[in-house]
Amino acid sequence: MKKTVICPGSFDPVTLGHLDIITRASRMFDKVKVAVLINSAKTPCFSIEERMELLREATRGLENVEIVSFEGLLANYCREQKVHAIVKGLRAVSDFEYEFQMAITNKKLNPELETIFLTADSDSMYLSSSMVREIGRMGGDIRNFVPACVHDRIVSRLKSL
């Protein structure tokens, strides 16, 4: 049976940390669905279309990766898609408690669902989308934080805010 996993997140915008997790998952599993969360309660910096387009561009070389979006509960989305595993990146101890709680809650909501954690790469373990947004907005250099192929688009979008 082909093993499909979901890498969920806001990806507002995609960073080298996200790309590292997606790339490693794509080597471990047959198919990786990168699922961008549509959260109507929050106003993201990048629109859902922009976030998906940046991810598509950043993962162009990875043939078994597909970019999708979802609204509502991840546990339900996984059930609908018949996907039984979520892959997430763990950056530091600070991520652990929240992620542990989420993993247990998702399993309660959908007992067939496993959460697999990959440890962040030492080069990107300090990286977050919010840090990229903040530095970019203030005109700082984000070249070491985002995939090179989408750098210019992210910079010009952040400058326009």
Of 157, 91, 156, nearest to 120 by C-alpha is 91
Q: How far is the CB of 124 from ligand ADP (least distance, A)?
A: 4
Query: How much of the chain is in helix, strand and coil states, percent to nearest 5?
Result: 45, 20, 35
Among 33, 88, 133, 157, binds ligand ADP (CB under 6 A): 88
Among 91, 107, 151, 153, binds ligand ADP (CB under 6 A): 91
**Binding of ligand ADP by 158 (CB under 6 A):** no
Cα end-to-end distance, the chain, whole Å: 46
CA distance 74 to 109: 10
Q: What is the contact surface with ligand ADP in residues (CB under 6 A)? A: 9-11, 15, 17-18, 21, 88-89, 91, 95, 120, 124-125, 127-130
Active site residues: 18, 42, 91, 129
